[in-house]
Structure 1
């Protein structure tokens, strides 16, 4: 995305999707997968980011690759930017959800040509600032950024140093929030929860107690169904308004999420590469799987199977 991170490696055909606990980040340029870009072997290695929506993509892709196409699938968690390096070097075969990294795309897709576009995921992502809907209904003017300072005291926490708290997730996520607070001259402090899971825990606790909060958040995301939130309107996004990270003073864009393949894998990956190009689904599909993983506590494999069993009309065309 502009967001996200984490580490880990899976072995054999098992799906090792770590829970979102803010683990340290892995550099895949130092940690090769045994299966990625393996010539002649029916194996695929997928990069999986630390947020649950990305885990849902990988869980369903892995399930179908293994049960319908007969591949062995390895998954590796890695930071957003190092994932591009790993993909370029053939250490992973595919990234299924990228929120927009124009510098990496220019370097690897346009110049080096070691990475190939894999097409739209079918989901449009958007980052923004949100308040709980119960607070927005009581104070409708809070949804305009110009009025946020009026409520800074209401959003204050012990961690925000006398200012209002703007809660972010992992420090590794790409965020403009510190620049926005500075450039819009707001009486707020960005406070990082540490991970998506930690941020969700805090928001659910605030909601349980009906407390006000202001948070960086994004869609698609299953939590909106459990904690309804209303977006705060920031200055409108215009092309190029976020080009200089230090001078950003506009809203985040709406971003059609993209897939990317290692170029060698794209050319020689056979039915697996074809399948991943055709893999497209809606935010409702992704949220359905994410809800099963994050809230119902199903394993990613169990959630994938449940979704696959009830959505054949969606996934069957990916195999043709």
Structure 2
């Protein structure tokens, strides 16, 4: 009689007769979740897979065409109109909510302790000297969003809406890596910094941060804040940002069991933050971080799977 493990492997046959095609976005949480899902589909469902490097809008078009099976992380607020149009075709479907992502203006906890009355972003002009820009010491420095990213438009309009231009420079790093390096270096030196960031990310996961209060979220104000030609920006907090899994309609038809698994993928923000912190601290690659997640967060991912699939994945770790 064959060993139990061999029997289990023989019993698993992938619903697809080709590799499963994942969209590989260029931010850390997506790269890690894709590797977690790939490990599960390989060892739990007997499937091959591949990652096709892409970006948000091209990935959406590829899902519609059926060239891509799954986009693990769609950030709704970043692609609201294109997503609504794609969904209306019936060729793509939102199948599961991963977590509620967010965006905020942050200061380190040590800065909050030094400046206990600094609670609101609108109060920053009073404290500009505590955030001196090394290249323009007559002003403070606010670290905005990387140049050319969608969040740069909102950062810039919010900066204007709060009237910070007289006392602060708006520093837009050239790339995400430049932004991360500048913030990490300043934080490690214990310098006062104020900056925009999104989460879950290694930066927010690994630093002890405090959010600055912004005025309550207002949909109309937010609409203007997202417009590069907004003539009279008004301050509003960032909306919550649903992050969900999308798949092509053809994939749902061909692989109902895989679709059911993917529809259940949901990660508590604290657990995703812990994975991001591990990635940062150990300078780990996405697959190494996925391995850490699978070994250390079994209470999370086993809820996504039938018991037999879960046991096969555990046996492969």
Q: TM-score, normalised by structure 2?
A: 0.79
Q: 2:101 & 2:23 partners in 1: Cα distance?
A: 18
Per the alignment, residue 199 of structure 1 pairs with 179
Residue-by-residue CA offset, 1:140-194 (whole Å, 9 max, x unaligned) = 2332122111223433425669643221343343210111112222123332223
Q: Secondary structure at the match of 2:219?
A: coil
Secondary structure at the counterpart of residue 49 of structure 2: strand
1:275 to 239, 261, 266: 261
Superposed displacement of residue 136, structure 1: 1.4
CA contact (8 A) 2:205 2:276 kept: no
| Poorly superposed stretches of 4+, deviation over 4 Å | 158-163
Partner of 1:223: 203
CA distance in structure 2 between the aligned counterparts of 1:294 and 1:73, rounded to whole angstroms: 26
Q: Is the 8 A contact 2:214 2:237 kept in 1?
A: yes
* Match runs of 1:236-255 below 5 Å: 236-244=216-224, 245=227, 246=230, 247=233, 249-255=235-241
Give 1:131's aligned residue: 107
Match of 1:183 among 161, 174, 177: 161
Change (3 A) 1:65 1:230: same
- What SS does structure 2 have at the residue aligned with 1:65? helix
Whether contact under 8 Å (1:53, 1:287) holds in the other structure is no
Residue in structure 1 matching 2:246, options 247, 250, 260: 260
1:99 to 66, 75, 79: 75
| 5+ residue gaps, structure 2 | 1-14, 307-317
Contact 2:206 2:280 in 1 (8 A): no
Q: Which residue number in structure 2 is paired with residue 305 of structure 1?
A: 291
Q: Kindly indicate which of the two structures has a greater share of residues assigned to helix.
A: 2
Q: Which runs of 5+ in 1 are unaligned?
A: 1-38
Count of paired positions: 280
- Return the index of the structure with the highest Cα Rg: 2
Does the CA contact (< 8 Å) of 2:205 and 2:273 recur in 1? no
**Counterparts of 2:94 and 2:135 in 1: how far apart (Å)?**
42
Shift of 1:79: 2.4
CA contact (8 A) 2:143 2:171 kept: yes
After superposition, residues 20-31 of structure 1 pair within 5 angstroms as: none
Partner of 2:310: none
